[in-house]
């Protein structure tokens, strides 16, 4: 099972934490630590205060769906391979047929060009009957080309659909072989339909956030952040218990999941 999924499953076990005492103000900070030891504070991160029970159920549902997909793909691994082979055969046949049709269209167009050239050279000498015969041959040849072009368009549509089918099957095979990648799990959790928050905040330039009124109850702090690098973007996702007596810190060690590169320190120990 992938590292991100392991971390997310581990988080389920700590969601029961979080004080229920009412405090007027709750603060916190979002940051990550580089391997060099430098802390990078994340600004403009949306931070949401969620009811712990609702957050737990949402996380459990999402992770359950991911686990089920992995198990289903594993159970269907052999049939997926056979299905992919059959789809590849269809694609190969469609590609072969398309090449035949393209060759036929090329040949018909060459004949049409010869007919046009003959008409330019000798059309003035044609009798009425010859002219009518030439026009009829021209129309018939043009109709053949249009029919072939329609056939080619249909083949092209079939090929595109089959290629999409093969890509989808391969994705399922990859899941069966390797599970979901950290990036896929992180993106799934970030896009999850989380419950409406009791309070919402946005971090400042120093990564600080503040909830002015955190009502009594047990709450989780949910946040997603990202950091743009030269050729990629790192994405992070947190779901941690709200601290009442001290700032709630969101960092590498309590991250829910991420697909960060190796330039950040390790996450959970």
Buried b (16+ CB within 10 A) or exposed e, 198-208: bbebebeeebb
- Dist CA 236 CA 224 (whole Å): 6
Chain-centre distance for alpha carbon 269: 29
Domain segments of the chain as ranges: 3-75+182-258, 77-177
pLDDT reported for residue 155: 92
CA gap 112, 182 in Å, rounded:
58
Distance CA 202, CA 204 (A): 7
User: Distance (Å, rounded) from C-alpha 163 to C-alpha 90?
Assistant: 10
Report field, pTM of the whole predicted structure over 0.75: no
**What was the pLDDT predicted at 127?**
87
Question: What pLDDT does residue 1 have?
Answer: 44
| pLDDT value for 269 | 44
pLDDT of 22 reads 55
Give per-residue pLDDT as tens, 154-179: 999 999 999 999 999 888 887 777 67
pLDDT of the residue at 171: 83
Alpha helices per DSSP H over the chain: 3-12, 52-75, 77-122, 128-178, 182-190
What's the residue count for the chain?
Answer: 269
Alpha-carbon torsion angle 124, 130, 135, 140, nearest 10: -150
Contact between residue 39 and residue 206 where contact means Cβ atoms under 8 Å apart: no
200 — phi, psi (to 5°)?
Answer: -135, 140
Contacting residues for 54 by C-beta, under 8 A, at least 6 apart: 195
pLDDT in tens, 74-107: 787 778 888 999 999 999 999 999 999 999 999 9
Instruction: Report residue 33 as tokens.
Output: 């630590």
* Residues in the chain, pLDDT under 50: 1-2, 4, 9, 12, 14, 16, 262-263, 265-269
Q: Please give the pLDDT value at position 24.
A: 63
Q: What are the backbone dihedrals phi and psi of residue 29, each rounded to the nearest 5 degrees, phi first?
A: -150, 145
Which CATH number is 3-75+182-258 given?
Answer: 2.60.40
């Amino acid at each position: 099972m992938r590292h991100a999924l392991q971390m997310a499953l581990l988080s389920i076990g700590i969601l029961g934490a979080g004080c229920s005492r009412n405090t007027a103000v709750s603060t916190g900070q979002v940051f990550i630590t580089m391997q060099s030891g430098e802390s990078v504070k994340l600004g403009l991160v949306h931070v949401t205060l969620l009811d712990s029970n609702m957050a737990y159920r949402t996380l459990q549902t999402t992770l359950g769906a991911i686990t089920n997909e992995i198990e289903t793909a594993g159970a269907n691994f052999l049939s997926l391979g056979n299905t992919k082979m059959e789809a590849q055969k269809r694609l190969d046949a469609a590609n072969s047929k398309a090449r035949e049709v393209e060759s036929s269209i090329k040949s018909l167009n060459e004949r049409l060009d010869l007919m046009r050239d003959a008409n330019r050279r000798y059309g003035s000498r044609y009798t009425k009957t010859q002219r009518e015969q030439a026009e009829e041959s021209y129309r018939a040849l043009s109709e053949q080309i249009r029919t072939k072009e329609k056939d080619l368009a249909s083949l092209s549509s079939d090929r595109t659909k089959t290629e999409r089918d093969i890509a989808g099957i391969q994705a399922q095979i990859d899941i069966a072989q390797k599970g979901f990648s950290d990036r896929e799990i992180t993106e799934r959790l970030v896009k999850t339909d989380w419950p409406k928050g009791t309070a919402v905040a946005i971090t400042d330039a120093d990564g600080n956030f503040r909830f002015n009124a955190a009502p009594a109850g047990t709450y989780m702090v949910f946040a997603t952040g990202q950091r743009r690098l030269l050729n990629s973007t790192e994405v992070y996702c947190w779901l941690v218990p709200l601290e009442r007596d001290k700032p709630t810190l969101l960092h590498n060690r309590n991250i829910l999941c991420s697909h960060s590169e190796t330039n950040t320190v390790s996450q959970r120990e």
